[in-house]
A and B are shown apart, each in its own frame.
Chain A
């Protein structure tokens, strides 16, 4: 049970008889009256315990947008339930106006809507629905928390999708192009067309020219139906915060842009999120539902404070990808973790696949490296310089093994990774 402000006012009115007739009599008399009124109000209140809550499923939304979260409240009791209720959500679900007034006659139902504006990615959980059912006087209420489990899936924001149009335009430029530059073994024959001035004479198809009577050139299109595997490292090094978000979120952003691009280019994209065990996996998704599958698989994944088991990751990748593929490792270039975990096993991966390591760099380190002016700033610059040198050494070692390395800030990483993909595609190196 609980009481309202009216109960306090009722008790305060008791000052009048106490002042007029001081003594135990008026004090206890008023107290008795108060107790009787409160008990009467409680008895006449509708039962909160008997209410039924049915939470309706909530559509998955992308972070940064709002959605109504609703449930149906049914009163199977014999009395009207009057009062207030609270629809509890985790703070990061961003429930505004989670308290509602309720006036539910017996045998009726109401839909109650709480607007949710989540502030974090992942699954946001709902708590109980707590009902306060006041009596006719509004002095005392029965309070009961009805268990109402619910979940709102919040997808990664995919802020880098603004880069998608320009990258798709670049992809179209690759399409239908004569092999003006390189004719890699991966590019595929597309069609024949008439020669126009400027075409590479080496691409003239002499047999077709002879048949046709005019000069005909072959055109090429980028290879299709290649396989791309995105590997998200969800270990401790991905948990560190860069700017306002964990590194993992920036890596997801880059992975989504690459996946969107690659699926338009006709490649098949798979996802593997792993530290010591597989945290999420998307395989064999069709072109149309690839992105939805990816974001919903990524949504609940959080970085875990464990060391990545690179041997297991490499074994998983090799087991799932028998044929050649582009393997993108989205992992921070942290000296020790890479040296001791990835280096010993990456050769096995490189022998079968094309490997790209994409790392989220911290712009703050670059800012520190430029620190000048006083001793503290210069020591900071030296420490940041040390980190930059370490990363450079790691990068050099990876490149020596034939691994492409991209190390960029959260904003620059998605477009740079997309550019690298396009470059590989243009070169037919997939």
Chain B
């Protein structure tokens, strides 16, 4: 009878399945939202930031004023194969005997990298504003000779073809001169700057210029002291473009090397941890590993097989009631709960006031009101009134029933906490 009465409160199968999926959605909603936002943001960032634009000065991919993208694009349009390199291996690997190697930011190069570049097979080497160390290795006939702030137009004043063709360019920048042991024929200094304006008595050994052409290690080396003329900003001025194109595009292949300050140099030569440790450490580690395996075998070996235990049922008898209580609460079955509480109270009150068998609830209300001296209407509201509208009202009803029983019996049941 109880199972039949409870049947409507339990949900049939399809709604519970739907509730399952609803529950799953509620649980996974927030993680899914966060994941979607992350994916979306990642996609937007990946699409909005163009690849290869690294912002470095004179980078062939940099479209900023100090970048070198204009020059690289013009060269590519003229059929020159421009290859960008970030590592020494990439640069030396990309060059052939018919290619030009451009090196910027030479102060970032370690001695090992300079040696590698010196052994490279490129037939033309262009150094942008090299420092003394670089020059010593790659162009020993040239030395650094100060700096000039005069960025005025300069005349070529030399016999190098590219400079003659270009005519006037942006001057100043780093200046270079022949080093002590160099012959005049081996080093051509263009766009010279005299120490003092107007004086002609300048010695050939002190002749300084921002564009120097020489030969070293069996190839032509061009040293450019004024890198501004290569930038997107200044490339179009005067003869800058002509000089840059003639210098960079003399051959069909161009390797544009921007040294990476984070490049690990000579990783294969540096001693690793194993080289520094004495050899017995390795062998004792092997021995220790064997000992560990033995210890595992020692501890893992079972002392005979286990004996199975047939376990009894562990379901508590009150579990049915607890489950029903949760169902009531989940379904908000206040009417049913209140009816049950009232029925149990009525049963107890019937014994308290010694009601004869077959007493109707209405008659019992009169008896209880008489026994307790309470207002019959109030007693009827408590015992037979409408179902409570909220959980709070249900709790209150339970307390009112308790109070009524106490009043009727003058003493409560011993199990009830006061």
Question: Which residues of A are interface residues toward B (Cβ below 8 A)?
Answer: 2-5, 7-8, 11-12, 14-15, 18-20, 22-23, 26-27, 30-31, 84, 86, 88-92, 99, 120, 125-130, 132, 143, 145, 239-242, 246-247, 302-303, 305, 332, 335-336, 339, 362, 364-370, 372-376, 378-390, 392-393
A302 with B312: CB separation less than 8 A: yes
B274 within 8 A of A: no
Determine the chain A residues whose CB is within 8 A of the CB of B336 once the complex forms.
382
Interface residues of B in 282-299 (CB under 8 A from A): 282-284, 286-288, 290-291, 294-295, 297-298
Number of residues in B with C-beta < 8 Å to the partner?
62
Residue of B nearest to A132 (CB): B303
Known: A240-B313, A302-B312, A368-B318. A382 touches B337 (CB 8 A): yes
Residue among A27, A91, A372, A393 making CB contact with B1, cutoff 8 Å: A393
A130 with B394: CB separation less than 8 A: no
The 0/1 profile, CB within 8 Å of A marked 1, for residues 392-418 of chain B is 101100110010000000000101110
Determine the chain A residues whose CB is within 8 A of the CB of B308 once the complex forms.
90
Across the A-B interface, the 5 shortest Cβ-Cβ residue pairs: A130-B304, A382-B337, A127-B307, A375-B391, A383-B325
Determine the chain A residues whose CB is within 8 A of the CB of B278 once the complex forms.
22
B309 within 8 A of A: yes
A339 with B337: CB separation less than 8 A: no
Q: Provide the bound-state CA to CA distance between A128 and B283, in Å.
A: 43
Q: Provide the bound-state CA to CA distance between A239 and B313, in Å.
A: 6
A22 with B2: CB separation less than 8 A: no
B287 with A18: CB separation less than 8 A: yes
Determine the chain A residues whose CB is within 8 A of the CB of B280 once the complex forms.
18-20, 22
B321 with A365: CB separation less than 8 A: yes
Q: Provide the bound-state CA to CA distance between A23 and B314, in Å.
A: 61
B26 to chain A, nearest CB (A): 22
B20 within 8 A of A: no
B3 with A335: CB separation less than 8 A: yes
A18 with B415: CB separation less than 8 A: no
Known: A364-B317, A378-B398. A3 touches B297 (CB 8 A): yes
Residue among A14, A240, A370, A390 making CB contact with B316, cutoff 8 Å: A240
Residue of A nearest to B416 (CB): A370
B287 with A14: CB separation less than 8 A: yes
B314 with A27: CB separation less than 8 A: no
B321 to chain A, nearest CB (A): 5
Interface centre among B310, B326, B340 (most CB of A within 10 A): B340
Residue of A nearest to B330 (CB): A379
Residue among B304, B329, B392 making CB contact with A88, cutoff 8 Å: B304
B337 with A378: CB separation less than 8 A: yes
A383 with B284: CB separation less than 8 A: no
B284 with A15: CB separation less than 8 A: yes
Determine the chain A residues whose CB is within 8 A of the CB of B297 once the complex forms.
3
A90 with B309: CB separation less than 8 A: yes
A7 with B294: CB separation less than 8 A: yes
Residue of B nearest to A245 (CB): B312
Known: A15-B288, A336-B3. A241 touches B398 (CB 8 A): no
Determine the chain A residues whose CB is within 8 A of the CB of B303 once the complex forms.
84, 86, 99, 130, 132, 143
B165 within 8 A of A: no
Q: Provide the bound-state CA to CA distance between A244 and B115, in Å.
A: 85
B283 with A386: CB separation less than 8 A: no
Residue among B307, B312, B394 making CB contact with A378, cutoff 8 Å: B394
A362 with B318: CB separation less than 8 A: yes
Determine the chain B residues whose CB is within 8 A of the CB of A27 once the complex forms.
283, 286-287
B284 with A18: CB separation less than 8 A: yes
Determine the chain A residues whose CB is within 8 A of the CB of B318 once the complex forms.
362, 364-365, 368, 384
Known: A145-B304, A364-B317. A389 touches B298 (CB 8 A): no
A89 with B307: CB separation less than 8 A: yes
Determine the chain B residues whose CB is within 8 A of the CB of A379 once the complex forms.
325-326, 328-329, 337, 394
Residue of A nearest to B313 (CB): A239
B22 within 8 A of A: no
B265 within 8 A of A: no
B294 with A378: CB separation less than 8 A: no
B399 to chain A, nearest CB (A): 6
B324 within 8 A of A: yes
B315 with A240: CB separation less than 8 A: yes
A11 with B291: CB separation less than 8 A: yes
Determine the chain A residues whose CB is within 8 A of the CB of B360 once the complex forms.
none
Determine the chain A residues whose CB is within 8 A of the CB of B338 once the complex forms.
382
Determine the chain B residues whose CB is within 8 A of the CB of A23 once the complex forms.
279, 283
B347 within 8 A of A: yes
B27 within 8 A of A: no
B309 with A364: CB separation less than 8 A: no
B301 with A241: CB separation less than 8 A: no
Interface centre among B280, B282, B303, B343 (most CB of A within 10 A): B303
Residue among A22, A132, A362, A370 making CB contact with B317, cutoff 8 Å: A362
Residue of B nearest to A145 (CB): B304
New A-B contacts (15) at CB < 8 Å, excluding given A247-B317, A375-B392, A375-B394: A3-B297, A18-B286, A23-B279, A99-B303, A132-B303, A335-B3, A365-B318, A365-B321, A375-B391, A378-B394, A383-B321, A384-B321, A387-B324, A389-B343, A390-B1
Interface residues of B in 359-418 (CB under 8 A from A): 391-392, 394-395, 398-399, 402, 413, 415-417
13 A-B pairs with CB atoms under 8 Å apart are: A27-B286, A27-B287, A88-B305, A120-B312, A132-B303, A303-B313, A365-B317, A367-B415, A368-B318, A378-B395, A382-B341, A389-B340, A389-B343
Q: Provide the bound-state CA to CA distance between A20 and B310, in Å.
A: 57
B86 within 8 A of A: no
A241 with B340: CB separation less than 8 A: no
Determine the chain A residues whose CB is within 8 A of the CB of B295 once the complex forms.
8
Residue of B nearest to A144 (CB): B304
A386 with B286: CB separation less than 8 A: no
Determine the chain B residues whose CB is within 8 A of the CB of A376 once the complex forms.
325, 329
B320 within 8 A of A: yes
B205 to chain A, nearest CB (A): 63
Residue among A89, A125, A241, A383 making CB contact with B324, cutoff 8 Å: A383
B2 with A386: CB separation less than 8 A: yes
B313 with A372: CB separation less than 8 A: no
Q: Provide the bound-state CA to CA distance between A8 and B315, in Å.
A: 47
Interface residues of B in 107-131 (CB under 8 A from A): none
Determine the chain B residues whose CB is within 8 A of the CB of A26 once the complex forms.
283
Determine the chain A residues whose CB is within 8 A of the CB of B344 once the complex forms.
369, 385, 388-389
Known: A132-B303, A339-B1. A385 touches B341 (CB 8 A): yes
B322 within 8 A of A: yes
Interface centre among B318, B341, B343 (most CB of A within 10 A): B318
Residue among A3, A143, A145, A246 making CB contact with B312, cutoff 8 Å: A246
B288 with A240: CB separation less than 8 A: no
B328 with A383: CB separation less than 8 A: yes
B294 with A3: CB separation less than 8 A: yes
B316 with A375: CB separation less than 8 A: no
Determine the chain B residues whose CB is within 8 A of the CB of A378 once the complex forms.
337, 341, 391, 394-395, 398
Residue of A nearest to B312 (CB): A246
A335 with B1: CB separation less than 8 A: yes
Determine the chain B residues whose CB is within 8 A of the CB of A303 once the complex forms.
312-313
A240 with B317: CB separation less than 8 A: yes
Residue of B nearest to A239 (CB): B313
